[in-house]
Amino acid sequence: MAWTGRKSYALANNDFAPKSKPKRKIWKFVVLGIFLIILGIGSWIGYSGWRAIKNITAGSSKKTTFFKFLSNNKAEALNGESRDRINILFIGVGGANHPGGTLADTIMLMSIKPKEKKAAFLSIPRDLYAKQPDGSYGKINAVHSYGELYYKKTGGGPAALAKVITEVTGQPVDYYIRGDFSGFQKIVDTIGGVTVNVDKALYDPYYPDEKMKGYAPFSIKKGTQNMTGAVALKYARSRETTSDFDRARRQQQLMVAIKDKTNSLGILGNPKKIVDLINVVGNHVYTSFTPDELVRVFEIGKDINNNNIKQVVLSNAPDSLLVSATSPTAGYILKPKSGDYSQVKLLAKNIFNDNAATDTAKENSTIEVQNATGLSGQASEVSKVLVGYGYKASAYLQVVTPVSETVLYDYSGSTKPKTAQFLTNKFNARKIEKKSADASSTDFVLILGTDYLDLIKSKNN
């Protein structure tokens, strides 16, 4: 009876000693289960990423793995990084089931200076008149479509357009990224939307509906707006009540907003977000980047402050580089004011140089440089520097009696203030207004004094 009582007590209190063995077995199964779940998630991420990356990359010869992409290994250097300028061509197309879906609706050259942690956007209007891959001339947006149609001949739309962009801007295209409207919308939604400061209210009663057969009026108020993918796409595409140039500025604004949001989310540290984004872009984006190179771009881009991002739009505004024209074959087009793309190339080349590139192009100034330093060759050297900034500069080769102070004579009648400001700031020059009749055809005469030599010495030390 005593034994029975102990047994009854043990049963009542569930207190048998051998119970520890089943617990150990249970924990083994739990640990094994967790391991299999982790392995399954890792395999899913890896397979999903590999499949999408295979779809979006342009078949680079550089070997890479998706798991290396997710790792913390040091990313490889990018093309252009050694010269401290990486040029990335962004191409937006309508995509499948969209009229003219292979025409380049958005063309934007982004330049990054890694050492200086700066970036610049240069938007190219789709109506720009340019040489086509077949040797004819037409709108630049048709280059991508031609490249896609004759893929074997051109290497594809992005590659064909990259060549023309180099001819127009003088800049090598190190990488390209092409996306369609649907992909843009899904990317914005995947990162949880973007925040944009709308500088003026926008109303477009002619925004096309989804079937492209009618209208779906779009409006947005001035002020800070949190945009979904659908709203961001409309904000980027609307142009009927504004212009292509306003639209280009909004597109640049959205690019910066997407950068800010991805940085704030820490995308590289979130495998689910990575897989979500990769699955989105796998169907809607095509790029010449490898995954390792994308890691490097992310590393560089996250350190660029928005104050160090410059935004330039080529347009037909009175102070810009293009003018409206018509073509018998292409209809409405935009052509360079100067007759060729020399000024556009100078703008692209000097886009980081203290706004001088933009201001130079707008004011189209002429400068004569005289050497009054007492040291030969200074006028020639300075005129070459100014030509590099895009000015029409020449050196006065006759001997000038040395003077102590650098002086800028302004013959423009104060019509070119940005050039005057640039020259006075760069050379510490004292500006003197002169009547235009005092000079035949020169806007400015820059006389370099002996203080210019001191200025050079201080900058070199």
Q: What domains, with CATH codes, occur in the chain?
A: 81-349 (3.40.630.190), 356-460 (3.30.70.2390)
**pLDDT score at 98:** 77
Phi, psi of 97 (to 5 degrees): 65, 20
> Half-sphere exposure of 250 toward its Cβ, with a 13 Å CA cutoff?
22
Q: Which long-range contacts (CB under 8 A, 24 or more apart) does 224-228 make?
A: 224/195, 224/196, 224/197, 224/198, 225/195, 225/196, 225/197, 225/198, 226/193, 226/194, 226/195, 227/188, 227/193, 227/194, 227/195, 227/196, 227/257, 228/188, 228/189, 228/193
- The C-alpha atoms of residue 212 and residue 176 are separated, in whole angstroms, by 28
Q: For residues 286 and 278, is the Cβ–Cβ distance under 8 A?
A: no
How confident is the model at residue 334, as a pLDDT? 94
pLDDT of residue 272: 66
* 414 burial via Cβ count (<10 Å: 0-12, 13-18, 19+): exposed
Distance in angstroms (rounded) separating the CA atoms of residues 25 and 27: 5
Beta pairing partners, 461 = none
Closest by CA to 162, choosing from 272, 248, 287, 67, is: 287
- Per-residue pLDDT 10s for the chain (461 aa) are 344 443 333 334 444 444 445 555 555 555 555 555 544 544 444 555 555 666 666 654 444 444 555 555 555 689 999 999 999 999 999 887 777 888 999 999 999 999 999 999 999 999 999 999 999 999 999 999 999 999 999 999 999 999 999 999 999 999 999 988 888 998 899 889 999 999 889 998 988 887 777 888 999 999 999 999 999 999 998 887 778 888 889 999 999 998 888 888 877 666 667 767 777 777 788 889 887 787 788 888 888 888 899 988 898 887 678 889 999 888 999 998 878 888 888 889 888 875 555 566 567 789 999 999 999 999 998 988 887 677 888 998 887 899 999 999 999 888 888 899 889 988 999 999 887 655 557 899 999 999 999 888 776 55
3-state secondary structure of 33: helix
Distance CA(452)–CA(1), nearest Å, equals 114
Closest residue by Cα to residue 353 from 185, 120, 179, 177:
120
Contact 239, 222 (CB under 8 A): no
Neighbours of 13 (CB within 10 A): 8
Vertex 200 angle, CA 196 and 206, to 5°: 95
Which pLDDT value is given to residue 302? 81
Is 16 in contact with 10 (CB distance < 8 Å)?
A: yes
d(CA 461, CA 459): 6
Model pLDDT, residue 33: 54
Q: Which pLDDT score is estimated for 284? A: 85
Separation between Cα atoms, residue 173 and residue 338, nearest integer Å: 24
pLDDT of residue 26: 56
Question: How is residue 421 written in tokens?
Answer: 């400001």
DSSP state of 211: T
Q: Degrees (nearest 5) of the Cα angle 148, 149, 155?
A: 45
Distance CA 223, CA 355 (A): 27
Q: Residue 272: which residues within 8 A CB-CB, separation 6 or more?
A: none
pLDDT reported for residue 190 = 87
In degrees, rounded to 5, the angle at the alpha carbon of residue 367 between the alpha carbons of residues 363 and 372 is 150
Secondary structure (DSSP) of 351-409 = TTSTTHHHHHHHH--EEEEEE-SSSTTHHHHHHHHHHHTT-EEEEE-S-----SS-EEE
* Cα–Cα nearest to 228, from 274, 276, 192, 180: 192
Taking alpha carbons only, the member of 107, 80, 105 closest to residue 95 is: 105
Q: What are the phi and psi torsion angles at 408 (to 5°)? A: -115, 120
Residue type, 221: K
The structure tokens 């000693």 sit at: 17
What residues contact residue 388 under an 8 Å CB cut-off, 6+ apart?
A: 349, 350
- Closest by alpha carbon to 76, among 63, 89, 57? 63
Place of tokens 């640039």: 422
Question: What confidence score (pLDDT) does residue 147 get?
Answer: 93
DSSP 429: P
